Amino acid sequence: MKKIFLFTLLLAMVFPFSVLAENYPYRSDVLWVTVPDHANWVYKTGEKATVEIQFYKYGIPQDGVTVNYELGGDMMPADSKGSVVLKDGKATIKIGTMKQPGFRDCRMTATVNGKTYKHHVKVGFSPEKIQPYTKMPADFKEFWDNNKAELAKCPLKYTKKLAEEYCTDKVDCYLVKLQVNSRGQAIYGYLFYPKNAKKGSCPVVLCPPGAGIKTIKEPLRHKYYAEQGCIRFEIEIHGLNPEMTAEEFKEISNAFNGRENGYLNNSLENRDNYYMKRVYLACVRSIDLLTSLPEWDGKNVAVQGGSQGGALALITTGLDSRVTACVANHPALSDMAGYMAGRAGGYPHFFRVPGMDTPDKLKTMAYYDVVNFARQIKVPTYITWGYNDDVCPPTTSYAVYNVLDCPKEALITPINEHWTSGDTEYGQLAWILRHLNK
């Protein structure tokens, strides 16, 4: 029964109906199924974990196939290796245990007819006890209060024009260019209103973007926010007009977003000059804009995002007392220096690049790490993450969630890698609507 339930759950969570009509996984000849012997994939430290693996090709259990595996901590090198032979498409792997709270990863490969297929499964050991490596700088609040005070001296300036291509019978959309500092730097965003929104009637929702230098993709993807009565501001963070072509965005990204020179590395050795300072303050300035709108209801300000956007949602909530609710998916920029403790650190995984663990850079990270903003949050917060995520690993999501001292809820979806389903994303709007101040 447990196996049937897990398989059904995978189908329901991963793929929209149009894809389900084709196949699961999408257009793949093979299917891996992993069934830990604890249904929630969670163990206490010291308990031993076992996982049953199943491997199918064309829906047929693969008998006699050798599965090679390696075991290690979350995002850590393997500490042991082995192999099992499938019988009727199944085998069992002993994952072992952990003495300290964290995650253990079983990474598998199987070769059939000369082609190698990969999969992995992570299980947690007392993850509710994970604490961040990152410490709070003594002047953290002073540093950010001073920067917000400087921002407040800059008058709110923006332009707004109708984006007819994204208007519907229920939604009006505007392209906004918002100045974010006294140097004239700006960001762009699409501002969605309910059609014929009345003065003082709408909660506002800020949506910061995921990582990268890229255009705002599918602006109408979350139109249901405006359809349900919210004003939603979906932004980019680099000052690049989303009306540029995809080719132009790609050229800029290739030029300025390499591993060795990416914006997340830019001036990391200096907290005052670090690239992300402008980004964090741009999110505050976006709240300035949203709360200046006549249609704002005067009470409700939510922030919602995933990955880098999830990080910025939590950061903005920690920075700005006007925010009344926060929703984040698998937040990046979380316990980034965690690798110093011999375990997974958060995206962008600075320590994969030589020379990133200098004292100056480690010091700056602490002023920009999500866990220190999470420590400031007092309003309702909702976070979702998966265990199999190798971009924003579960160790770091727990490090954030466990330090929250506020009304909080978590949706944990163990099988998920770095994605959320459409149903999960719509559920976040439902959560926001349930937490509106009346």
| Catalytic residue IDs | 307, 389, 418
Residue 6's closest CA among 32, 43, 45, 44?
A: 32
In the β-sheet with 66-73, what is the strand arrangement from edge to edge?
42-43, 115-125, 102-112, 66-73, 78-85
Helix axes 275-292, 140-152, angle to 10 degrees: 60
**How distant, in Å, are the alpha carbons of 184, 212, 241, 261, 397 from that of 254?**
25, 10, 17, 10, 29
- C-alpha dihedral sign at 301, 306, 308, 311: positive
Residue 233 and residue 231: Cα distance in Å, rounded?
7
Residue 52 and residue 62: Cα distance in Å, rounded?
14
Running DSSP on this structure, what letter comes out for residue 211? S
Bridge-based pairing state of the strands 202-207 and 186-194: unpaired
Q: Do 387 and 394 meet the contact criterion of CB atoms below 8 Å apart?
A: yes
- Residue written as tokens 């330090």? 403
